[in-house]
Amino acid sequence: MVFHGPGDLRREELPVPAPGPGELVLRIDAALTCGTDVKTLRRGHPVMIPRVPTVFGHEFAGTVRAVGAGVRAFREGDRVVAANSAPCGACPSCRGGRANLCEDLLFVNGAYGEFIALPPRLVATNVVPLAPALPARRAAFAEPLACALGGVARARVEAGQTVVVLGAGPLGCLLGMVAAAQGARVLLVGKAGWRLDRVRQLGIGECLDATKTGSVVAEIRARTGGRGAEVTIDATGRPEVWEEAVEAVARGGRVVFFGGCAPGTAIRLETRRTHYEELTLLGAFHHTPELIRRAVGLMAAGTLVPDGLISHRMPLEEVGEALELMARGEALKVLVEP
């Protein structure tokens, strides 16, 4: 599936790639749709898709089909998951231990296809072998789960704390699952409809229907003894919800801005509370090779099993329909198996 620009996704026949030096070619066993793909299809993506046309999709696991010269860590037939990016390892952010902020992050797309070629830097840093018991469809969650692990780590969540996640999409759910696994009480805020009903059934945490209350903030305060939550996380990428996240946090609390908003947007910040209540406001972006490995390890160990977030299964030809389903809030994640 080739992305030619906003609204223009085409099915095309391309030659099976041959691996150059340091590269791997995978046969894709499982790919997952992601809200980022929906957003990208609508308006493009300045960071992940710097130029078009390009192969599309970024959450996948597969089997090594061909190994380029000089690659020693993998062999044909190995089952692996690859992240969708590789840091440079040399810039100040990388050397400072924050590879997610790499100034030369190399992005890789092409999950919605039968084969994908992985560039040398990705092969060297961000391809992880899979234990036999870890199915590809679960392993393909490595990338979004690594993002969620990073977001929750930013908030330094402790057992017994209340974590409010605003947004009940797949990443909101993963954030909730990670926080719950760390012993937090989780409150997921979503909007009435198919998706929130489905999320309720998954039992990740308490669910709050934003359409059934006059004020989400008042409802969160009511459910936290009037104090607000120790941690609030925005997983919607909407400026007005970022503001709610700040308003609903407790004294001394931490707010994580996990959802990326449209370029040029801004929020209003109440200076008095931010100062006198020592609020901590944190951005959270992307993942690191270490977080990808942690994500794979947690799924292999069965500590985090995100399978329930797969709501549909569709063939490669129907990726466009799958993304429309996502856009309408009628799917959580669609499993695409070529």
Binding site for Zn ion (CB under 5 A): 34, 36, 87-88, 91, 94, 102, 144
The DSSP output letter for 24 is E
| Position 106, amino acid | L
Choice between 86 and 196, CB closer to Zn ion: 86
Which residues in 68-107 belong to E strands, given as ranges? 79-82, 85-86, 106-107
How many Cα atoms occupy the beta-carbon half-sphere of 138 within 13 Å? 20
The Cα–Cα gap between 206 and 199 comes to: 10
| Cis, bond preceding 53 (omega within 30 deg of 0) | yes
Rounded least distance, CB 275 to Zn ion, Å? 34
| Residue 134 backbone phi and psi in degrees, to 5 | -95, 105
Rounded least distance, CB 268 to Zn ion, Å? 29
Choice between 98 and 221, CB closer to Zn ion: 98
Question: Cα angle vertex 77, ends 82, 295, to 5°?
Answer: 30
Choice between 106 and 281, CB closer to Zn ion: 106
Rounded least distance, CB 35 to Zn ion, Å? 7
Please list the residues that pair with 185 across neighbouring strands: 162
The Cα–Cα gap between 259 and 36 comes to: 10
**Residue 326 exposed, middle or buried by CB count within 10 Å (0-12, 13-18, 19+):** buried
Choice between 105 and 157, CB closer to Zn ion: 105
Q: How many CB atoms lie within 10 A of CB 199?
A: 23
Do the beta carbons of residue 335 and residue 32 sit within 8 Å?
Answer: yes
Choice between 67 and 99, CB closer to Zn ion: 99
Rounded least distance, CB 134 to Zn ion, Å? 19
Comparing C-alpha atoms, which of 245, 85, 226, 230 is closest to residue 172? Answer: 245
Question: Cα angle vertex 317, ends 313, 323, to 5°?
Answer: 60
Rounded least distance, CB 92 to Zn ion, Å? 8
Rounded least distance, CB 202 to Zn ion, Å? 19
Do the beta carbons of residue 331 and residue 33 sit within 8 Å?
Answer: yes
Rounded least distance, CB 171 to Zn ion, Å? 8
Do the beta carbons of residue 333 and residue 310 sit within 8 Å?
Answer: yes
Rounded least distance, CB 101 to Zn ion, Å? 8
Choice between 200 and 320, CB closer to Zn ion: 320
Choice between 138 and 254, CB closer to Zn ion: 138
Rounded least distance, CB 146 to Zn ion, Å? 10
| Residue 164 backbone phi and psi in degrees, to 5 | -100, 125
Choice between 67 and 102, CB closer to Zn ion: 102
Choice between 253 and 289, CB closer to Zn ion: 289
